[in-house]
Structure 1
Amino acid sequence: MDATDLDHRAGTRSGLIPPELVSRLIERGHSDVVRLKAGHGEWFCALEWARSLGEQGRQADAMEVLAPYLATGWWTAVVAAAELLEGWGRIHEAIEITRVRMEAGHPMALESYTRLLARHGRAEEAFTLLRPHIGEPSLAVALVDIAAAAGRDEEAAALLAARAEHLCSDFPWCCRGLDRDTAIGLLATIRERQGSIDEAIALLRAGGTSMLHREQLAALLARNGRLDELRAAAATDDPRYAVQRLAMWWEERGDVEGAIAAYRQAGGPAADDPASAFELAQLLARHGRGNEAIDVMRLQADVRNGDDWILHTLSALCLAQGRPEDGLAYLDALAAARGGEEEWDLYRMRLPLIAARDSVDEAIAQARSHPEGGASYAASHIAELLAGAGRTKEAVAVLEQHASENSHDLAVCLIDLGRVEDALAVLQRRTR
């Protein structure tokens, strides 16, 4: 095995049985297959099998499974092994394997190593290691997280204050990535932690043009019960984050009407901002008011004619509320406004609605009548309908016509039918 090859295959999910299929094999009683493949370069099988052995108290066997992967120096394997060792209480070993990769110069190892140290009583040592790297954003975040346990909040604050006063002339090169806005946000985190809420608020308001600062400020106000200020922020020209936090605050306290009112207040974002409208629709659906949720998303669909994600949300809500005919009527009206033509990405939203209103067979018949109904990407949606109706053999027959383009879905169906060797063969063909 080679670390570069493993990293590529695991990152692209090519040439390996993906983790969701490993889980499916175990769920369907094929642990023996996972065990066998774990020793033949299948990383996700090895990881799942090692976890399973650890749960059985067979820690030595678990580490033996991971040993060939660790021997390559592959960082992903190191992280997984360290997490298992830490979970088993073998802290020294977890620290040691991470330290080795840090000293070898792996770019991600320092953060993992120092966080591991801090979790186990060595926060001051971790802070000292991180201090020279204040200019690197992820390490600056780690330093701030560790500073309190190390008793060095003021030292961290001084480092960040110097960064916060600097205006970048050639970002990210002049600051190595830690820009002024990020430094201010981290400094505000320290001040809030120290109880200096007013100072934290002042810092974030001074950088109020930053989206991250607005989001952080809204969360800070909500955490500290500063509702009047949160309401004032919700009444500004850019209220999204404040409204979201205000609604969450009310919902967490059981006041659903208050949460809904936060989105629907005069001048609120729910009418103009589709993301806020989506949040309102989800809130309504969570509390048994799905019909109102449909109305919210229908309004967005009217305003933003053709935004796929809005139509997907609207269709899903109609399906969940037992109103497939309303979802289809809206899609019909949209298609008519476009001259009756619908590309497959839009047309496929109809299929579960047709299946719910009429039947799966009718949905499949209509799918196949579409000009793109014979395409490989259409096959996956047709097979999904069949599999969802318990007709997995028929789903396999559909997918096999386009096996190379639908190898993952085909493998899922074959596993469900108990045809594990065929499923693995499909995945191997995809690799070649």
Structure 2
Amino acid sequence: MAVDAADLEYQARTRSGCIPPELVSRLLERGHATVVEQQAGRGEWFCALAWARLLGERGRQAEALEALAPYRATGWWTAVVAVAELLEGWGRVEEAIEITRVRMKAGHPMALEFYTRLLARHGRAEEAFTLLRPYVGECSLTVALVDVAAAAGREEEAVALLVPRTEHRCSGFPWCCGGLDRDMAIRLIATIRERQGRTDEAIALLCTGGTTPRSHREQLAALLAREGRLGELRAAAEDDESGHAVQQLAWLLEERGDVEGAITAYRQADGTAAHGANSAFELARLLARNGRGKEAIDVMRVQADGRNGDDWVVHVLSELCLEQGRPEDGLAHLEALAAACGGEVEWDLYWIRLPLIAARDGVDEAIAQARSHPEGATSYAAPHIAELLAGAGRTEEAVAVLEQHAHENSHDLAGYLIDLGRVEDALAVLQRRPPATGA
């Protein structure tokens, strides 16, 4: 078996021309472990990784490492990490450290962070801190330094390294500072102070200048919630347009059993965050999980009315209607939306109604309406129609729909083929390579 690091990276990044991880899991769930083993030996990275993990769980560590050996031999960093994580999980820490040390010494750009975090997890945090210290200013490595500083007993040294960065004024973020700008430095120091139990100092840092910069609000809200500082969290929520403080306040109140208080937090009459779509979504989920489904639907209907054509809002509304057994409510809104658009709705919005129609009128009616849409025969409509069919136990028909657009829907098609036991057909679909072009 010949594998190439560049090809592996391309497949892992694009999920193209290979068996993706979700379908590897599907093969294993359907009892096709032998297929996964075979494909692991034929250059299928996700099969190799799943097979190695399975072998490890069965105590067959040498075979697991052998399955990954050709991939690791390419020098591909993802494979090196996978082997190191397996070794660490098996308690073979020194071996994990050694293989990552070799890549770090070879200058791999991602190896130092992984290596130092691995050292810190296994009693060598001071060594990790020393290795990271010269790289303060490189964002991810500085974050790693802060993370290992406590175990190394060098938190004050980390703060001293970060303080000069708090004076930096960006002239062209992120190029002028590598992403470690003034705000990032302040947030990292605040993290250290909170970890030390110096909560007031952490809060003061995140409120630098008497106001809370947008980039600090999420961290501040989470800190106040962790510390149970309800009064300060309420004050932060009053003028927080980002919604982070409102969300943390509501979560804290719900956790304490004050569901009404959490609902009120989202419904603040004068709080701009309470009127945003994200906060409305959180409020709707809160209401739904506390048995107030009709109110949840009403909340999202108001958002949908105010954001005509915003597909994610309409999608959430429709899902809520399905969950609450009220498909007619979702359809009524979608029909009103269609009427406002002159009766013409593009597929991006139209498909959302299909599960609602299926719930109210049956799958056949939903499919008939889908096919009557001007875009109902397109490649991007096919997965929605196939999902309806498969959900009704009509997987063969789902496959027939997708086979008409196999190239564009290869993963969906292969998944249904696996469900039908047609594994060879599924592999042929997934591993189809584009034709070579002549010079």
Please state how far the C-alpha of 1:271 moved relative to its aligned partner: 4.5
- Shift of the 278–270 alpha-carbon distance from structure 1 to 2, 3 Å rule, reads farther
* Separation in 2, partners of 1:139, 1:23: 34
**C-alpha contact (below 8 Å) 2:268/2:274 kept by paired residues:** no
Choose from 146, 152, 155 the match for 2:154. Answer: 152
Q: How many residues align?
A: 432
**C-alpha contact (below 8 Å) 2:173/2:181 kept by paired residues:** yes
**Which range is displaced more, 281-290 or 295-304?**
281-290
Please state how far the C-alpha of 1:255 moved relative to its aligned partner: 2.2
**C-alpha contact (below 8 Å) 2:206/2:212 kept by paired residues:** no
**C-alpha contact (below 8 Å) 2:146/2:155 kept by paired residues:** yes
Unaligned runs of 5+ in 2: none
* Separation in 1, partners of 2:29, 2:10: 27
| Corresponding position of 1:6 | 8
One-letter identity of the residue aligned with 1:38: A
Deviation by residue 1:105-144 (Cα, 9 ceiling, x = unmatched): 1111111000000000000000001111110111111111
**1:198 counterpart = 2:204:** no
**1:414 counterpart = 2:417:** yes
| Corresponding position of 1:235 | 238
Deviation by residue 1:231-251 (Cα, 9 ceiling, x = unmatched): 111112536111111111112
* Separation in 2, partners of 1:392, 1:176: 51
* Separation in 2, partners of 1:22, 1:390: 22
One-letter identity of the residue aligned with 1:204: L
**C-alpha contact (below 8 Å) 2:317/2:330 kept by paired residues:** yes
- Shift of the 174–397 alpha-carbon distance from structure 1 to 2, 3 Å rule, reads closer
**C-alpha contact (below 8 Å) 2:97/2:118 kept by paired residues:** yes
**C-alpha contact (below 8 Å) 1:14/1:431 kept by paired residues:** no
Q: How does 1:178-197 map to 2 (within 5 A)?
A: 178-197=180-199
| Corresponding position of 1:99 | 101
One-letter identity of the residue aligned with 1:13: R
| Corresponding position of 2:328 | 325
* Separation in 1, partners of 2:412, 2:245: 41
* Separation in 2, partners of 1:286, 1:419: 40
1:355 counterpart SS class: helix
| Corresponding position of 1:44 | 46
Please state how far the C-alpha of 1:170 moved relative to its aligned partner: 3.5
Identity across matched positions, percent: 78
* Separation in 2, partners of 1:252, 1:173: 42
| Corresponding position of 2:60 | 58
Please state how far the C-alpha of 1:376 moved relative to its aligned partner: 1.1
| Corresponding position of 2:344 | 341
TM-score, normalization by structure 1: 0.98
- Shift of the 191–237 alpha-carbon distance from structure 1 to 2, 3 Å rule, reads closer
**Which range is displaced more, 291-300 or 195-204?**
195-204
2:275 counterpart SS class: coil
Unaligned runs of 5+ in 1: none
Deviation by residue 1:195-240 (Cα, 9 ceiling, x = unmatched): 2211111111016453230111111111112211111111125361
| Corresponding position of 2:370 | 367
One-letter identity of the residue aligned with 2:228: G
1:408 counterpart SS class: helix
* Separation in 2, partners of 1:168, 1:270: 29
* Separation in 2, partners of 1:52, 1:39: 15
Please state how far the C-alpha of 1:307 moved relative to its aligned partner: 0.6
- Shift of the 237–81 alpha-carbon distance from structure 1 to 2, 3 Å rule, reads closer
| Corresponding position of 1:172 | 174
* Separation in 2, partners of 1:157, 1:392: 59
Deviation by residue 1:276-298 (Cα, 9 ceiling, x = unmatched): 11111111122222211111100
| Corresponding position of 2:37 | 35
Please state how far the C-alpha of 1:411 moved relative to its aligned partner: 0.4
| Corresponding position of 2:135 | 133
| Corresponding position of 1:248 | 251
- Shift of the 430–385 alpha-carbon distance from structure 1 to 2, 3 Å rule, reads farther
**C-alpha contact (below 8 Å) 2:48/2:67 kept by paired residues:** yes
Deviation by residue 1:167-203 (Cα, 9 ceiling, x = unmatched): 2234333323210000000011111111221111111
Choose from 295, 305, 327 the match for 1:292. Answer: 295
Please state how far the C-alpha of 1:431 moved relative to its aligned partner: 5.2
- The Cα RMSD (Å) is 1.3
Q: How does 1:300-315 map to 2 (within 5 A)?
A: 300-315=303-318
